[in-house]
Structures are given as C-alpha cells and as structure tokens.
Amino acid sequence: MTDRNAAKPSFATKQRTRSPTLREVARRARVSVMTVSNVVNGRHELMTAETRKRVESAISAVNYRRHESGRSLRLSQRFAIAMLIVDPSPAFLADPFITNVVAGLGNFLGERGYSLVLQGCSAERLDQALAIRNNGTDAHCLMLSGAPAVRRRCLDLVARSAQPLLVFQEAASDVGDDVCSIRQDDHGGAAQLTRHLIERGARDLAVLFPELPWPALEERERGVRSAIGPLGDQVNLVVISCGTGDYTDTQAALAQHADRAGLPDAILAGNDQIGIAALKWLRAFGKRVPKDIRITGFNAFEFWQFSDPILTTVRSPAYEMGKIGGAELLERLESGKFRQHEIVLPVTFQIGEST
Amino acid sequence: MTDRNAAKPSFATKQRTRSPTLREVARRARVSVMTVSNVVNGRHELMTAETRKRVESAISAVNYRRHESGRSLRLSQRFAIAMLIVDPSPAFLADPFITNVVAGLGNFLGERGYSLVLQGCSAERLDQALAIRNNGTDAHCLMLSGAPAVRRRCLDLVARSAQPLLVFQEAASDVGDDVCSIRQDDHGGAAQLTRHLIERGARDLAVLFPELPWPALEERERGVRSAIGPLGDQVNLVVISCGTGDYTDTQAALAQHADRAGLPDAILAGNDQIGIAALKWLRAFGKRVPKDIRITGFNAFEFWQFSDPILTTVRSPAYEMGKIGGAELLERLESGKFRQHEIVLPVTFQIGEST
DNA sequence: CTGTTAGCGCTTTCAT
DNA sequence: ATGAAAGCGCTAACAG
C-alpha cells in the first residue's frame, strides 16, 4: 500500500498554480471523481439533486475547466480540426476568400464542440508544419496554392497522415478514399462572365491572373476557354500575368503588356482586387470603362463596389463553403466515412457598371 | 499478474485504424519506448548510431506522429494558444486588421512549436466559447469589440480562467498581473491626421465611426480631440455614426447627416473601407475631394489605394503586433511572468491625394 | 445512485 | 546505453 501523499511529482509542480482537476472538485464535494465527471457531462439522471447541487457549487467554487488532454487521451479523440493554408507569403489570411472560408468553418466547428487549429505554411516547409508532424487533431482541412505539381506533392504529403481530409477548391478524388473536396463553381462563373462580355460585343479578351496559380484560377481559365469555344475563330484570348496580383504589380504588368501588345477590349481579372487595380490604371491612362474597355472581377467580397465604376463580378459562397465543409467533416468523424466526396457550390453573377 | 493481451479496451477500438504509438514503433525496432521517445526528442547522444538508425526507420516505416494529448497530459503543457475574437458578426475575420494580427501571431507560434486555436464569438456567448469552457491551451489572446462595459465583462470573464492573457488593442492592466496588453498608437495616428487636416485649412471636422465601438476607435476619437484641443474655439468636431460601417450603411449615414446638418470640410473615417465609401458618395454627390472636402482613412491595408483619389491614411503595424505579442506570450510561458505589461507600437502617417 | 479500476500515450526518474 | 515504473486527467466498464 503506497502512501499517495508521499508521491513526488516534481515534474508536475513546475507549474505555478495547477488548475483544478476532477479529483480536486470531487474532494471538495465529497464524492468520487466519476460523479463529478457525470455532472460535467450532463448525466444528471445518475445522481440525486442534492449531490448534483453540491458538485456544481464545488465546480464553480474552483472554476473547474475540463482538461482537454486527459479527455482526448482517454477517448482517442482530439475534438480539434486543423486548417492548413499553403501560401508562400506570410500573409496567408490576406485574401477575403480564405478568411470567409475560415470564418464559416470555425463558427460551425465551434458550435459543435470542435476547435479550429489554424496554420499558414509555404509548400516547401509543409512537411515541417506542426499539424503535419504532430498528431493533435482529428482531421485536416487544406487550402492549396502553387503549380499543379506542387499542389499534388502537398496533397500526397497531407494524405500520408492517414486522417480524414477536406480539401477546399481543388479536386482530390485520387488521393484516397478518406477525402472530400469542396469548391465553388469557378468554371461556370468564369464562363458566365465571358459570355456576358461577348454579348456586349467584346472580341479581344484577356485574362489577368497572378503568377501564383491557385487551383481556382486554373478552373476559371478553363471556364473562359469553354465559353469562347464555339466562337473560337471570332474571339481572341491572351493571358496576362500580374505578378503577385497586388496593386502595384498589376498596374505594372498591364502597362508593360499595353506597351508590347496593345490593349484588349475586355479584361477578366483573377479577382476583384486585380480588377480594381486594372480599372484604375486604365482610367489614368485615359481609357473609358466600359466604353473603351470592359472589366470583370471575381468573388465580390465587400470591396467589389469600391471602384468607380462598380465592377461586374461573381459572388462567391466562401462562408457557406467553410460551413458546409465543416458539416461534411464532422459527419465523416461520426459515421466513419464521407457521405460525399465532391461538393460544388454555385456562384452568383452580379452585374455592375464596368461591362 | 494480469495477462496484458487479455485487455479488452473496447472503447479504444472504436477507431478504424489507430495511429501508431511509441510502443508500436518500439516493438518494431526491438527497443523500449524510452529509446524511441529519446529519438523523437533529439536526444541522440543517449544511444548508439545503430540503435538510432533502427528506430528512425521504424518511425518512418509506420509514419509515426507524436500524439499531442499524451505528451500534453504528461507535461502539463498544451503547446497551444487560443485566440478569441469577440465580434457580434459571424464574419469575425472580415477586417484586415484582425487577419494581419492573426497571421503574424500564427506564423510566430508555428515556428516555435505552438499551435494557434482560433475562435470567433459574440460577447453574449463568450462564456459558452470552447476556449473558455475547456482547458485546452496554455494561454489566451483576446481581441475585443463592443461598448466599454461589454468589453470589461469579457475581460473579467476571460481573466477568470487564470491563464496568461494577451489583449490586443486595449489597456488591461487592471485585470490582474498575468496580463499583457499590446496595441498600436491609434491616439497618435489620429492626432497626426487631425493636425494635417487643420494645417490644410479644415475647420469643420467630422469623425465617421461605426456604431460598434472597437477600443481602437475610442482611442482615435481621443486622439482627434487632443489634436484639436489648443484650437478648440476655431475648430468644430461632430461624430457621425455609420452603422455597421459597411459600404451601404456608410453612404446612407452620410446622406442622412448631410441632409440634416450639412457637410463638414473634412472627414476622419474610422478605417479605409469607411473612408472609401464616404469618398465615393461625396463624389457622386458632386463634391470634389480634396477641394471641397478632405477625407482620411486608417490602417492602410492594400485597398487604401483603391479609391480615386487615393486616401491619406495611417499604416498599421498589425502583422508585427501579432508577432511581437506572440513573442511576449511565449516569453511569459517560459519565464513565468510577462516582461512587459503594456506595449504600444508606432503607426506611420501616409499621405495620399484625398487631403 | 455512487465508487473502483484500468488504461489512453507520453516523458521524468531511477535502475541496470 | 537502455529499460522499467509511475502517473499526468480523464472516462468506459463494471461492481456495489
């Protein structure tokens, strides 16, 4: 019989004040730890009202908060989801598309008792990322950027973790069975914008995309081409790269292109930010929008209307995407498998003054 | 002597495939778990090269990833930090100020082996928030909005958790000793903008702030007033509320105010988004900026230059704030106390064309 | 209704 | 240089 008071947990005494445990609450309420656990977990039918009350006052007296690691260890469930954003820039939350997805996902998970672990990371260092090296969550979510080969490498790397995986904005059916891909209809949205431009008389189109190829951008380019398809001989298309896609790069790229090759009669910008930069540069250059040249944006997050004239664009369901993706993921955790492996959400055409 | 193979951990078999543990790796490498643990933790001097190699191949053979909950439980450290964003709107990441802080914080923590748990929450439900109810992180970070009394209540609630606390954009010295507050010099920035406007001849000023009082906005209003101070009799100031601060609300509020009370000769907007909405409305209304009326923004995140004319504004060190705050917090976790309790970062005046 | 036992995966301590 | 034991806080299973 070991005297339990003689225990010498020196490692555990490193902490200044250890936060209260079930045992401490149990001692104060003069019940066993199991009874306290039952109170904490709402199994009120297992005890008398008197006991429950005594335990509850002990809980609030010491402000007991359940230690996640004990529970997780015991249940082999972390009640946490990792969201990995692969972006070469440290400002991995700069795009409102991403923040809307993250907000939707985080809110949904929070309501359901799961926390969201957020990490931005470059593709090169993805194998060093905490969420990959350590096993601290129940599943991964992934938002990718970069060339197709880079994204493929990232996908395979994350898939090696053998955890459920939710991929945003990219098809991923071939990575395994425990994967779900959710994205918006970039193809359809881009096609719709293109048809709209052609209807308005544009024949000499340009897409203005950042150098870093997000999968959604590739999808949009395909959408543009498919809409042009039937009119291939009457409609011309060039691709202009606008560097990082920020204000300065976009304007510089456009200036250089105009110099070398002249201007198209319509520009499909990769997103609203790029569209606005282009629009402003054109007007400074003496062009009238939409009279001389038409411009479209993409995604419509608040500042699509900052420009003058207001952009014609396409509304993105990014917030819903986070939410729906989260629901699908928890469904997977509870049932053992994904109900769907591919989800595509519709976008909404939104006409402005720039076309 | 219990036969260990007779164990019946049915609860642990719920999982389809349990991820590999130290024990499994140890068995494959024919060493004890301690040796594997030593390899994982880089204590290479404790073993022969041969042993190390055998263990390392076993590790990569099964793709072993350390289970965070076991480690956390044993070490009484979670290696995770919670970031709570108190916002009545579900789009708690809508403001680029916040996303920059979060990105800076997350990147810094990630490099140092800590994960970032992100949660948005309304003030009313803060007591239900996962990060508050459960003890799953080593510290809290807090970004607040709302009236002073609401913020105070939130602060007290979070402080009850008795964990180290890093508060962004709000003084918090009176909440306890285990708290650090980090913010930008909103007061100074606003004062500088105000002096600039007055120098350019403005005498009839308005601040255009959203209804929801973020602490930084209060600070900016005080900055404006302090700059006016010495000229109180020559300079007039009104406060215009612009509802949620989004595009539509801002323009509606401005229209209503103009109708009732006419227009000031300078507007200090609460941020760049509001400034741009105001600027566009004024131009549509036939006013020339800056000739008839001058406008300033605040924070300068990318789209400050979207407007035409470009906004005069103030650059926010939001990303650095996240990073420096994170450093201060880890320092606290390692040393047992905060080195500093108040950190104020400078902002940078950035002249545009709107003043 | 309440309590006891065992063990989740890990790392510190101590023994070999 | 390597291993055995103990226990962090929690909950399923079972016993009373």
- The DSSP-derived string for A178-222 is SEEEEEE-HHHHHHHHHHHHHHTT--EEEEEE-SS--HHHHHHHH
Residue B245: C-alpha distances to residues A317, A337, B59 (Å): 22, 43, 54
Q: What angle do CA A290, A292, A295 make, to 5 degrees?
A: 40
Distance between the alpha carbon (CA) of B32 and the C1' atom of C15, Å: 15
Using C1' positions and the CA of B67, the closest nucleotide is C9
Using C1' positions and the CA of B9, the closest nucleotide is C7
Residue B112: alpha-carbon gap to chain centroid: 18
The amino acid present at A44, given as its one-letter code, is: H
Measured from the CB, is A12 under 7 Å from any atom of strand C?
A: no
pLDDT tens string B172-220: 888 889 999 999 999 999 999 999 999 999 999 999 999 988 889 999 9
Distance between the alpha carbon (CA) of A50 and the C1' atom of C10, Å: 38
Contact A295, A334 (CB under 8 A): no
Which chain A residues 69-98 have CB under 7 A to strand C?
70, 73-74, 76
Per-residue pLDDT of chain A (355 residues; tens, 9 = 90+): 333 232 233 343 344 467 899 999 999 999 999 999 999 999 988 888 889 999 999 999 999 999 999 999 999 999 999 999 999 999 999 989 999 999 999 999 999 999 999 999 999 999 999 999 999 999 999 999 888 999 999 999 999 999 999 999 999 888 889 999 999 999 999 999 999 999 999 999 999 999 988 889 999 999 999 999 888 789 999 999 999 888 889 999 999 999 999 999 999 999 999 999 999 899 988 999 999 999 999 999 977 777 888 999 999 999 999 999 999 999 999 999 999 999 999 999 999 999 9
Return the closest-CA partner of residue B62 out of B103, B101, B23.
Answer: B23
Cβ–Cβ contacts within 10 Å for residue B182, how many?
26
| pLDDT at residue A1 in the model | 30
Which residues in chain A are closer than 8 Å to B160, comparing Cβ atoms? 63
Tell me which of A118, A141, A156, A332 to substitute to probe the interface with B (most B C-beta atoms closer than 10 Å).
A118
Distance between the alpha carbon (CA) of A34 and the C1' atom of C10, Å: 24
Contact A155, A175 (CB under 8 A): yes
The amino acid present at A271, given as its one-letter code, is: N
Residue B208: C-alpha distances to residues A47, A309, B176 (Å): 57, 24, 34
Q: Which nucleotides of D are covered by protein (CB under 7 A)?
A: 1-13
pLDDT tens string A11-57: 433 444 678 999 999 999 999 999 999 999 999 888 888 899 999 99
Contact A237, A225 (CB under 8 A): yes
Residue B350: alpha-carbon gap to chain centroid: 23
Contact B165, B179 (CB under 8 A): yes
pLDDT tens string A163-196: 999 999 999 888 889 999 999 999 999 999 999 9
B119 → chain A, closest CA residue: A106
Residue where the block lists tokens 């298309």: A237
| pLDDT at residue A8 in the model | 31
Measured from the CB, is B40 under 7 Å from any atom of strand C?
A: yes
Which residues in chain B are closer than 8 Å to A116, comparing Cβ atoms? 117-119
Tokens (6 digits) for A127: 């194998």
| Of the partner residues A69, A160, A273, the one whose CB lies closest to the CB of residue B72 | A69
Range list of H helices, B115-246? 130-133, 148-159, 186-199, 215-228
Give the residue ranges with Cβ < 7 A from strand D: A 2, 7, 9, 12, 18, 21-23, 33-34, 37, 40-41, 66-67, 69-71, 73-75; B 10-11, 30-35, 38, 45-48, 50-51, 70, 73-74, 76
CB contact under 8 A, B117 and A116: yes
What is the rounded distance in angstroms from the CA atom of residue B263 to the CA atom of residue B289?
13
What is the rounded distance in angstroms from the CA atom of residue B189 to the CA atom of residue B185?
6
Tokens (6 digits) for B196: 């600039």
Contact B236, A265 (CB under 8 A): no
CB contact under 8 A, A68 and B135: yes
CB contact under 8 A, B273 and A17: no
What is the rounded distance in angstroms from the CA atom of residue B354 to the CA atom of residue A267?
28
Q: How far is B167 from chain A (nearest CA, A)?
A: 19
The amino acid present at B142, given as its one-letter code, is: L
Tokens (6 digits) for A112: 């359901």
Measured from the CB, is B18 under 7 Å from any atom of strand C?
A: yes
Measured from the CB, is A35 under 7 Å from any atom of strand C?
A: yes
Contact A165, A178 (CB under 8 A): yes
Return the closest-CA partner of residue A102 out of B19, B119, B96.
Answer: B119
Using C1' positions and the CA of B23, the closest nucleotide is C9
Strand residues in B175-278 grouped as ranges (E): 179-184, 204-209, 236-241, 266-269
Tell me which of A17, A25, A130 to substitute to probe the interface with B (most B C-beta atoms closer than 10 Å).
A130
pLDDT tens string B42-97: 999 889 989 999 999 999 999 999 999 999 999 999 999 999 999 999 999 998 99
Cis peptide before B290 (omega within 30 of 0): yes
What is the rounded distance in angstroms from the CA atom of residue B144 to the CA atom of residue A130?
28
Distance between the alpha carbon (CA) of B35 and the C1' atom of D4, Å: 12
Q: Is B348 left (phi over 0), alpha (psi -120 to 50) or beta?
A: beta
CB contact under 8 A, A73 and B75: no
Mean confidence (pLDDT) of chain B: 91
Residue nearest to nucleotide D11 (CA to C1'): A74
Question: 3-state DSSP call for residue A128?
Answer: helix
Cis peptide before A290 (omega within 30 of 0): yes
Distance between the alpha carbon (CA) of B25 and the C1' atom of C12, Å: 20
Measured from the CB, is A31 under 7 Å from any atom of strand C?
A: yes
